[in-house]
């Protein structure tokens, strides 16, 4: 949800917006490479025309993005340490979990822990309209 206000028509604009997004994966599969937690963000920007007829604008923008904190217990994690030189084989098979309903490789859970994430993004750009 957001919008832009033309403070000085054709010369100066002010933008403000925000969003919320639901995480796409369960917390058991959360890891650093693809963080997928519920998140929200808010952004703002200013744009200045570089001459009335040039079609160029100088844009300054900022975005704050925060992901919900996630904690994954080692007994719940589903991301395992990758061992391409020592995969599960008939000589060294994968083992079954305690409940017997899932295969577990002979490598440790790699995504156990607590995660806190936030981002601050600044942008300086030239907007060219043709």
Map tokens 């719940």 to a residue. Answer: 76
Predicted local confidence at residue 27, as pLDDT: 86
- 19-25 contact pairs (CB < 8 A, 24+): 23/68
In this structure, the number of other CB atoms found within 10 A of the CB of residue 93 comes to: 11
CB 119 within 8 A of CB 94: no
Enter the pTM of the model. Answer: 0.72
Question: In the beta sheet, which residues pair with residue 66?
Answer: 40, 118
Residues lower than pLDDT 70 in the chain: 86, 88-107
What's the Rg (C-alpha) of the chain?
Answer: 24
């Amino acid at each position: 949800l957001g919008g832009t206000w033309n403070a000085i028509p054709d010369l100066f604009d002010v933008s403000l917006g925000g969003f919320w997004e639901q995480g796409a994966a369960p917390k058991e599969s959360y890891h650093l490479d693809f963080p997928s937690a519920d998140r929200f963000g808010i952004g703002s920007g200013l744009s200045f025309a570089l001459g009335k007829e040039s079609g160029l604008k100088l844009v300054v923008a900022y975005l704050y993005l925060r992901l919900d904190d996630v904690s994954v217990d080692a007994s719940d994690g589903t991301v395992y340490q990758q061992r391409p030189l020592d995969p599960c084989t008939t000589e060294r098979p994968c083992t079954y979990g305690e409940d017997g309903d899932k295969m577990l490789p002979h490598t440790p859970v790699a995504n156990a822990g607590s995660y806190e994430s936030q981002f601050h993004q600044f942008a300086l750009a030239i907007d060219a309209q043709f």
